[in-house]
Amino acid sequence: MAFDALALYKITKELKETILDARIDRVLQPERDEVVLCLRTFRDSFRLVLSASSAHPRVHLTEVAKKNPQTAPLFCMLLRKHLNSGKITDIEQVGFERILKISVSGYDELGDLTTKYLIIEIMGRHSNVILTNSDMKIIDCIKHIDFTVSSVREVLPGIAYTYPPKQDKTPLPDFDNETSIDFSAHQTADKAIMSAISGISPVLAREFVYKIFGTVDVYANTLNTNQTAAIRVAVLKTVSDMENGIFSPCMICEASSGKTLDFCAMNISQYETLANVIRYDSMNRLVDDFFKTRDMHERMKQKSADLNKLLSNALERAAKKRIILERTLKDAEDRDKYKIKGDLIIANIYKIRQGDKSVTADNYYDGTQMTITLDPSLTPSENAQKYYKRYNKAKTAQTEAQKQLDMTVSDLEYLESTQMAVENAESQSDLNAIRDELISEGYLNRRPVKRKQKKEEIKPLHYVSSDGFDIYVGKNNTQNDYLTLKLANSSDIWFHTKNIHGSHTIIKLGIDKSVPDSTIMEAAQLAAYYSKARNSSQVPVDYTHVKNVKKPNGAKPGMVIYDRYNTVYVTPKLIECG
């Protein structure tokens, strides 16, 4: 993972310079596996994130203020009891591992000055946040690890804390010319480096190889003595830079899309023109920026799993229903043949006797002859009525099937647009609004509420164009209806991706009715960004005045029709929020 021991080493140095001797004002737990310490120094205040997330474990200062649950979790309450008003007296990285130990000095219930330790273990799915007393006995931890989870090491309240077993590798600061690296195995050189040195990420191991060969695709068993010596020199240079406090924190972003790929405490050049390298003067700020969006999307994915499953099942049922209805309509296209057969039986009834199995008659509709199958147990008149009944049944089925098909297509469009809104949700409030919408539409059962809570008012996203115009974007179908049918005036400009599920976007004109092309483009970019085509380019976006947008009677939330529009092609892009 990108958050290696070297990154933690740099973060630890910055934390010592920034929050050492700070007081803990508040302890928050916005997520099940994440704690935030609100700190205060003489000059400033800070937020320190301690995350034991399985996907993105980390520790760093943050500028992101997450919403906290109304009732604090038990672990949060315990930390408040032991750490509130405490003073951070020491911050240390344990043995160049991804373990940070924070010493907090404060007074206990008896008024005695004591020291407690907050230990953050960054170890993938085994990551943890642990509180111990001065004797290193565990008071509690954010994840309880018993023998059913790990046979090597238990982490439970009341037992003595022990550090995780060390790896059979040489820590990066201890690397020297005597350190053994096995370059004989048939594996890439960077993997050989990682198997011998602890505390470095794959991207840094590849960088050592790239600095020597100009490529990372080098196999260890093909290297000669001079080449392995050159790799050692590159590693030793990093060790020297680390000891002298020379770091180059950088984030690697894909050149074509701007998507964040990786980060490192040292300069990275291996991606060449495929990626842009953004340099930072602070490792804490780099890590905060890197995980800001990535962690949010991961957590939204977890929190929306039930909604995605519900929508996927509903979409699958609706798609199957559509196939059946389309097949029914296709079968009903031949209904006229039943009426013709009934008419021909009546026209030739004089020559048909009960017991006949068929009759051949002149088809006066097209001038051909037609052989009609008869039920010998029925009279000629009853055979004719049988065909008339089949005709009327097919005719009724076609009418009803068409009505059901129209409703099913509408359901599919609504479910797909709702699925898009779930994918673009950025907070628990957004998901709650979508749940309320699905409840009102009958797709989700209403959950019993234990106590009355104040309903959150979720407002549409607000942006301001470079020309000063207000732009609003709906975050779900209910908001789309509110934007288009209530907030917008008839002269405002409405945007939506062409034949692609997305959010309604509005430019509020106010007194100034002339809109510059630059504002039109920015609004179109936002409409494309908040759509299914977010990761595409040259996305078609239709725009027209709101007076040309209508909502059909009985249409589901967010569903509208429009005419007299223009189309512009844009690449999805965010602009600055208002």
> Which structure tokens are listed for 391?
């005709």
209: in domain = yes
Residue 65, pLDDT > 90, answer no
Using CA atoms, how far residue 556 sits from 73, 95, 494, in Å, is: 39, 60, 19
- Using a CB cutoff of 8 Å and minimum separation of 24, what contacts does 220-225 make? 220/182, 220/183, 220/184, 220/185, 220/186, 220/187, 220/188, 220/189, 220/191, 220/192, 221/183, 221/184, 221/185, 221/186, 221/187, 223/183, 223/189
* Residue tagged 């929050």 (tokens): 19
> Which structure tokens are listed for 243?
């000891």
Using CA atoms, how far residue 335 sits from 28, 201, 363, 389, in Å, is: 69, 70, 16, 10
Average pLDDT over residues 236-254: 94
* Residue tagged 């208002």 (tokens): 578
Residue 578, pLDDT > 60, answer no
453: in domain = no
The pLDDT score that the predictor gives to residue 576 is 66
Query: ∠ at Cα 12 (19, 29), nearest 5°?
Result: 65
The pLDDT score that the predictor gives to residue 574 is 81
Write the DSSP assignment of 440-466 as a string of letters.
HTTSSPPPPPSS--PPP--PPEEEE-T
Which residues fall within 8 angstroms of residue 423, CB to CB, at 6 or more apart? none
Average pLDDT over residues 406-418: 89
* Residue tagged 């009853």 (tokens): 382
Radius of gyration of the chain (CA): 34
The CATH number of the domain holding residue 16 is 2.30.310.10
- 468 and 400 within one domain: no
How far apart, in whole angstroms, are the C-alpha atoms of residue 35 and residue 122?
A: 14
Number of domains in the chain: 4
Strands 549-550 and 561-562: antiparallel
Q: Helices 283-303 and 305-332, interaxial angle, to 10°? A: 50
pLDDT band at 454 (very low <50, low <70, confident <90, very high): low
The 10 Å Cβ neighbour count of residue 404 is: 16
Average pLDDT over residues 500-528: 90
The pLDDT score that the predictor gives to residue 284 is 96
- 340 and 233 within one domain: no
- Residue 127 amino acid letter: S
- Domain with 242, as residue range(s), is 170-299
- 318 and 294 within one domain: no
Residue 296, pLDDT > 90, answer no
Which DSSP letter does residue 238 get? H
- 315 and 287 within one domain: no
**Residue 246, φ and ψ in degrees, nearest 5:** -95, 105
- 110 and 41 within one domain: yes
Q: Would you say 273 and 282 are in contact if contact means Cβ atoms under 8 Å apart?
A: no
> Which structure tokens are listed for 419?
């699925």
- 135 and 192 within one domain: no
- 134 and 24 within one domain: yes
- 528 and 417 within one domain: no
The pLDDT score that the predictor gives to residue 96 is 93
Residue 453, pLDDT > 60, answer no
164: in domain = no
Residue 451, pLDDT > 60, answer no
Boundary of a domain, candidates 299, 323, 338 = 299
Q: Would you say 472 and 506 are in contact if contact means Cβ atoms under 8 Å apart?
A: yes
- 136 and 12 within one domain: yes
Average pLDDT over residues 380-395: 88
Residue 455, pLDDT > 60, answer no
- 285 and 317 within one domain: no
Strands 170-171 and 197-198: parallel
pLDDT band at 436 (very low <50, low <70, confident <90, very high): confident
Residue 394, pLDDT > 70, answer yes
Strands 461-464 and 470-473: antiparallel
Q: Would you say 97 and 164 are in contact if contact means Cβ atoms under 8 Å apart?
A: yes
SS3 281: coil
- 360 and 278 within one domain: no
Which percentage of the chain shows pLDDT scores above 70? 97
How far apart, in whole angstroms, are the C-alpha atoms of residue 341 and residue 319?
A: 35
Residue 377, pLDDT > 80, answer yes
Q: Express each pLDDT in 535-571 by its tens digit.
A: 888 999 999 999 999 999 888 888 999 999 999 999 9
- 339 and 232 within one domain: no
Which percentage of the chain shows pLDDT scores above 90? 59
Burial of 441 (0-12, 13-18, 19+ CB in 10 A): middle
**Residue 264, φ and ψ in degrees, nearest 5:** -160, 155
Q: Express each pLDDT in 310-322 by its tens digit.
A: 999 999 999 999 9
128: in domain = yes
| CA 272 to centroid of chain Cα atoms | 28
- Per the document, the length of the chain is 578
Q: Would you say 370 and 344 are in contact if contact means Cβ atoms under 8 Å apart?
A: yes
Beta bridge partner(s), residue 130:
119, 141
